[in-house]
Amino acid sequence: MNHKYIYLLAMGHFSVDLAMGALPAILPFFVSQYGMDYRSAAGLMFASSFLSSLVQPAFGWLADRSSKTWFMPLGILLSGVTMGISGLFENYWLIFAVITLGGIGSAIFHPEAARMVNKVSGNRKGTALSIFSVGGNSGFAVGPLIVVAAITSFSLKGTVVLSLAALIMAIILIIVVPKMNREIARRTVSEDTTIGKVTEREITGNNDWRAFAHLTVLITFSSIVICGLRSFIPLYWVDVMGLSAASAGSALTLLFTLGVVTTLIGGLMADKFGYLKTVRISYMLLAPMVAILSQTTDGVSGYLLMVPIGFAMFAPFSSVIVLGQSYLARSIGFASGVTMGLSFSIGGVTVPLIGWFADSYGLITTMELLAMIAVLAALSSFILSDPAKGSQKDPACRLRG
């Protein structure tokens, strides 16, 4: 595993998810300053996801056909700049449009970046993807903190700080990524054991579409829960617990800060104990924790619940990606685009419906609904097949390592 390149890609992941992670923390300010209802606020989460969920697998398909590493700085630039200017507008549909472009930027970045991580990870795919995921979760953790501080200091125009961060990281990738490609190519030619070398066994790997379909069911349910929590935890903190918008942003920061640690722990667990076991344990924990949160109106208890919820949300993330890449061994870019894309985008598409539900039945009942969907995610984890068993039947059916 080439740590230098893994960390570089993780920093790119941090930058793109810094912008996307800031959006839920901006929503309470849109509600208080522009008078949006829950459905309108949830519609902005939908804006960040609905096109992203469609185009991200397409960009993964393109990444499988030929490497397009320039997708990575382009995606960072598009997501950061558009999210950064969202606070400059008061018209709802202008805000909706720029946030939609931000979601597309995220979709451009993730498949190519995940494919490159797979290429430089050697036989430690779980650990490498967990480090990469830590970058993204760090962005989700820091994003609310930065944007709340900026808005508090400069009003909603303070969101422009997100554009600055994206510009800096995009420039770094534009300079460094060509060097990374040349070094990978040079080592592939000169060494028997090289970074990113595709063996004959990997080239002849099979795609298990049925197993991947089962994984997609799990991702769909878990994405609805994760996006629902991202969208409504800030509103729950304000409207049910009676705390400030800044406190609501800090709850998201705590959740995703814990995600940084638990994603790395989850990757290490997956490499040691297996991907399926890590996935099943995590989702079996998530459902009861969300159910307890739905009955919590005390701020201290809510913050404490972020610990187990953060573990259950983020520990299985790298395992899900590796499983997808193992099921579709010949289409790693497409598998990465679907698993990483659907993990956040498919839930975003359903958020307006959850927003309508929250307007009709209240936030407590909405959290109870998310707990029920988390139960479906846990049950779905038990229909997944084990790639290791598949490889015993057909040695060419999964990735090396």
Helical (H) or strand (E) element with 323: helix 317-327
Q: What tens digit of pLDDT does each residue of 40-90 get? A: 887 888 888 777 767 776 776 676 666 678 888 999 999 999 999 998 998
Q: Which residue has the higher pLDDT, 319 or 133?
A: 319
pLDDT of residue 393: 44
> What does the angle CA 379 – CA 380 – CA 382 come to, to the nearest 5 degrees?
75
pLDDT of residue 189: 58
Q: Which range is least confidently modeled, 22-26, 238-242, 340-344, 395-399?
A: 395-399
Burial 370-398 (b: 16+ CB within 10 A, else e): bbebbbbbbebbeebbbbeebbeeeeebb
Q: Of 401, 392, 387, which is closest to residue 327 (Cα–Cα)?
A: 387
Q: What tens digit of pLDDT does each residue of 26-47 get? A: 888 888 888 888 778 878 888 8
- The torsion angles phi and psi of 144, rounded to 5 degrees, stand at -60, -40
Q: Which domains does the chain have, with CATH numbers?
A: 3-393 (1.20.1250.20)
pLDDT of residue 284: 94
Q: What tens digit of pLDDT does each residue of 277-302 get? A: 999 999 999 999 999 999 988 888 98
Q: Which residue has the tokens 């941090």?
A: 14
Q: Please check the confidence at residue 379 and state whether its pLDDT lies above 90.
A: yes
pLDDT band of 395, cuts 50, 70, 90: very low
Q: Please check the confidence at residue 396 and state whether its pLDDT lies above 70.
A: no
Q: Please check the confidence at residue 317 and state whether its pLDDT lies above 70.
A: yes
Q: Which residue has the higher pLDDT, 54 or 128?
A: 128
Q: For all residues of the chain together, what is the average pLDDT? A: 81
pLDDT band of 131, cuts 50, 70, 90: confident
The 3 state secondary structure assigned to 211-236 is HHHHHHHHHHHHHHHHHHHHHHHHHH
| Whether the model pTM is above 0.85 | no
Q: Which residue has the higher pLDDT, 94 or 340?
A: 94
